[in-house]
Amino acid sequence: MAYTISEKILMAHAGKKDISPGEFIEANVDVALGNDITAPIAIAEFKKAGFTKVFNKNKIVLVPDHFAPAKDLKSANQCKILANFAKEQGIKNYFEIGCMGIEHALLPELGLVLPGDLVIGADSHTCTYGALGCYSTGVGSTDLARAFVDGKIWLKVPASVKFIYTGKLNKWAGGKDLILFTIGKIGVDGALYKSMEFAGPVIKKLGMDDRFSMSNMAIEAGARAGLIEPDEITKKYVAGFKRKSRFYKSDPDANYEKIYEWDTTKIEPQVACPHLPSNVKGVSELSDVKLDQVVIGSCTNGRISDLRIAAKILKGKKIKAGLKLIVIPATQKIYLEAVREGLAEIFVRAGGVFSTPTCGPCLGGHVGILTEGEVALATTNRNFIGRMGSPKSFVYLSNPAVAAASAIRGKIIHPEAL
């Protein structure tokens, strides 16, 4: 039998010799992740059911990042629940602010998730780690509670869909544009319950940060996972980590429910317009979208290469008077790198603010909520109605280059137009 990379990883973790899409399995997880929004429910369910000890304190990761540093009393309580549970259970992978980062940037950076792993996270963007060639999927709080008990998860094996990208990549386009383009083509349920696999010569040349951006938004097409076969770039990224990686590859004759192939040469930077990530247009199709706010950050595009791209454009420039620019490095390490490389100073001198890591405005939490009528361009992942604040505000999504250039002009523009 021939299998896709997803099927091979699931098979190995379910202890099975054969597997097929649609089948229900019980599989052992390598990592179970929760944050300050989802873990409190998981912890409550775990205790309510009468359990007292987690299955393995080393396989659980808790990151308060959504409303942290605590934005108000209620979020302080939620964060405290995580801290207390970590202490009580001896979970060392609990990350208080100061060592905290946005979970989906932090875990790969620390080598807590590796190629070949089965990762579950009570956060929909857990699919990010698929970029490393692991099967990583978002689940709910009760799933996490159950994983606390015995380290297992029930899964319906998804069919795989392959996306092949050929040709050249536009100078101003990256992983974010490839995934926005893809979601624009197939829709927000275009890969519903599927495992997406990103492949082809364009992917082979993409750096890890761009790969994370792509896998991160697989959920925005309804997918369970978004994988990239590990290669030399992956191997280099995980080389320093202690725990062993397992590098799976899809068999040449593996079964894909569908295969898409696109030439990326003509794909310009993409923008998702309100109010769905699939409402995608080429940036040059948007002529007069005036902006009140630009956000550069999130688990999609808050990594060091994203900040470097933005800083290159903003260097020596001023943002449009009256516009709010918020730059949020995704982790403390990225924050320090940005300070060391002078990027933080570029953002501040341009008229922006440079924040401590947090999910913050991406989900309308804090650090930049929109009021009625306001329009934002963000490097984040969702632009649903009211996502960043008022139900009468508007969110556009783009890559960091478009975001930085648009902050200078005060409206959405192609970086080349500067």
Partner 1 sequence: MIIKGKVHKFGDDINTDDIIAAKYLVSTDAVELGRHCMETISPDFVSKVSPGDIIVAGKNFGCGSSREHAPLAIKGCGVSAVVAKSFAAIFFRNAINIGLPFLEMGKIEQINEGDSLEIDLDSGIIKNLSQNQIYKTQAFPKFLQEIVGEGGLMSWIKSKRSG
Instruction: Point out which residues bind partner 1 (CB under 8 A).
Output: 24, 37-38, 40-41, 44-46, 48-50, 66-67, 72, 74-75, 77-78, 121-124, 126, 138-143, 145-146, 149-150, 154, 188-189, 192-193, 219, 222, 224, 276, 363-365, 382, 384-387, 391
CA separation for the pair 56, 60 (Å, rounded):
7
Q: Which is nearer to partner 1, 176 or 387 (CB)?
A: 387
CA angle 396, 332, 213 (to 5 degrees): 35
Pull the structure tokens for residue 325. 């620019």
Provide φ and ψ at 262, rounded to 5°.
-130, 140
Kindly tell me which of 25 and 375 has the beta carbon lying closer to partner 1. 25
The nearest distance, CB 149 to partner 1, in angstroms, is 6
- Residue closer to partner 1, measured from CB, 152 or 414: 152
Burial of 158 (0-12, 13-18, 19+ CB in 10 A): buried
Least CB distance to partner 1 at residue 48 (A): 7
146 vs 303, beta carbon nearer partner 1: 146
Residue closer to partner 1, measured from CB, 45 or 210: 45
| 131 CB burial (10 A radius; 0-12, 13-18, 19+) | buried
CB of 70 to partner 1, least distance (A): 10
Across 149-273, the runs of DSSP E, i.e. the strands, are 152-156, 160-166, 195-199, 225-228, 256-263, 270-272
Instruction: At 209, list the tokens.
Output: 């940060």
Q: Which is nearer to partner 1, 71 or 249 (CB)?
A: 71
Residue holding tokens 């998804």? Answer: 158
CB of 284 vs partner 1, minimal distance in Å:
27
Cβ atoms 257, 161 nearer than 8 A:
yes
Residue number with CB closer to partner 1 (201 or 391):
391
Minimum Å distance from CB 380 to partner 1?
Answer: 12
CB 100 within 8 A of CB 68: yes
Closest approach, Cβ 239 to partner 1, in A, equals 31
On the 0-12 / 13-18 / 19+ scale of CB atoms within 10 A, 52 is exposed
The span from the CA of 149 to the CA of 315, in Å, is: 51
Min separation Cβ 136 and partner 1, Å: 13
**Between residues 192 and 336, which has the closer beta carbon with respect to partner 1?**
192
CB of 261 to partner 1, least distance (A): 25
